[in-house]
Amino acid sequence: MKYSESLKKNNDFQLVYKTGTSYANRYLVMYLKENQLSRNRIGISVSKKVGNSVVRHHLTRLIRESYRLNEEKFCCGYDIVVVVRVNGKNQNYHSLESALLHLGRLHKVVRSKENEKNTNNID
């Protein structure tokens, strides 16, 4: 089991934004940067444009939970910042989880669906 930490400091977020790579889809934007650690650090950002504090906090919890449940699929040693777009406001858990895994596969830090099926068939 892998353990992750949260990115909390503004400097950490800014470093990932400036020097990391990013991919986006309809609901999320994911920034990624190697961190030279044996674990991932994840930060989630939801703008006030998305909604009030209740909506923002709800979306943050959904993203954090979807990452936690799929953490074993992610490679270690990265700082990850996930930004929720306005279109993600009314999405359910499964849509946001799918969007998160899609971006992870684009960054090549998450195993693809084919690899997961092959791994499951071997066992």
pLDDT digits (tens, 9 = 90+) for 16-46: 999 999 999 999 999 999 998 889 999 999 9
Angle between helices 53-69 and 93-106 (to 10 degrees): 60
CATH 3.40.50.970 fits 5-122, yes or no: no
The model carries a pTM of 0.86
Q: Quickly state the pLDDT bin for 5 (edges 50, 70, 90).
A: confident
Q: Which of 26, 28, 53 is nearest to 43 (CA)?
A: 28
Q: Is 45 helix (H, G, I), strand (E, B) or coil?
A: strand
Q: Where are the domains of the chain?
A: 5-122
The token pair at 48 is: 């006030």
At 52, the amino acid letter reads N
